[in-house]
Amino acid sequence: MPRPIFAHIDLNALRHNLAVARTHAKGRALWAVVKANAYGHGLERVMTALAQADGLALLDFDEARRARDAGWRKPILLLEGFFSIPDLTLVDALGLTAVVHHTDQVRWLLEWAKSAVPTGGVNLYLKVNTGMNRLGLNPEELPATIEQLSATGKVRVVALMTHFANADSADHHELDEPLRQFNTAVAAYWRGKTSLANSASLLMHPQVGGDSVRPGIMLYGASPMQGQTAASFGLKPVMRLYSELIAVRAVKAGQAVGYGGRWVAPRDTRIGVVACGYADGYPRIAADGTPVWVQGHCAALAGRVSMDMITVDLAGAPQAQVGSRVELWGEHVPIDAVAQSAGTVGYELMCALAPRVPISAVG
């Protein structure tokens, strides 16, 4: 028998979450963000469930080629654009839309356009820095950039975009200044399409407009907002991580469990050992009390996470025994709850699922 840990990807849940995003998009075009191998869910695995998206948004050429090889014929947006002049030949060959976010990319485009014969012309999104101060052209760089690129006759600026630093704040005023900057730049320099909203903006900030939206984490059933659950937005978990109890032992009050003796039994109790550890992607720094679903009941992490095992207090699951099913996150234990216990976000847990964990798609 294989080690009893596995993950299910619920494609029906993904379809449901896409429909939720569609509802919030209110007719705007929708880029489904599938970077980082679809947030750890598997790019090829999720593509059929995202068939109703208007395009895919991702980061690197390998994933773009994989999407094309798997049959995706709709647009693909390269969120970090290209990294050298030769990349532009691949952008053209694969029919990709590239984000341009710094002046070196503009220079590369101009140089490439001098000798290139594009198969259909390269579409570009220009990214505007509105306070993230990570990627993006400054607003005053836009007029010269648009003029230079348009003059080549070989590339097309099809939209302006931005990315907000504080979209995950519930305070709508956090977006006042970046929106002002973006809208001012658009009014002065642009009459075309725009793209602004990620998952948090889409769910929480209806004042953010634009012609297209870029939902990511919400598609996979996690919340982009601290303090608000995915379920409160009508989202369903897509990744479900399961294992089993491989041992159960009695521990007396006062006895310690696990490395460093971090957890000490407050009473006589039963401890279950689960075949899942940080080498499987479970967060090593998860705190005692992190919820674990065992045999239909809520148990609690008890002791430090080790490489291949966790230990749980079975006081809340009195019928549990060796072989009992355990859900680490999914339907009964939101991935955001585990992430919060580890001081991180659901994104990280999804992306950190280890290659040694078998994955299957259902639905």
Supply 190's token pair.
């642009």
Q: Between helices 142-151 and 103-115, what is the axis angle to 10°?
A: 10
Q: List 30's β-bridge partners, or say none.
A: 213
CA 161 centroid distance within chain: 19
d(CA 55, CA 77): 7
Q: Is 259 a catalytic residue?
A: yes
d(CA 199, CA 216): 6
Task: Give the torsion sign (CA, 47, 48, 53, 55).
Answer: positive
Task: Please tell me which residue in 114, 189, 236, 259 is annotated as part of the active site.
Answer: 259
Residue linked to tokens 């984490």? 217
d(CA 235, CA 251): 39
Q: Going by C-beta distance under 8 Å and a sequence separation of 6 or more, which residues neighbour residue 215? A: 21, 25, 30, 31, 32, 33, 197, 198, 199, 202
Cβ atoms 88, 66 nearer than 8 A:
no
Supply 238's token pair.
């897509």
Q: Is 189 a catalytic residue?
A: no
d(CA 303, CA 307): 13
Q: Which of 47, 79, 43, 30 is nearest to 351 (CA)?
A: 43
Q: Which amino acid is at 332?
A: H
Task: Please tell me which residue in 35, 127, 154, 236 is annotated as part of the active site.
Answer: 35
Residues with catalytic function: 35, 259
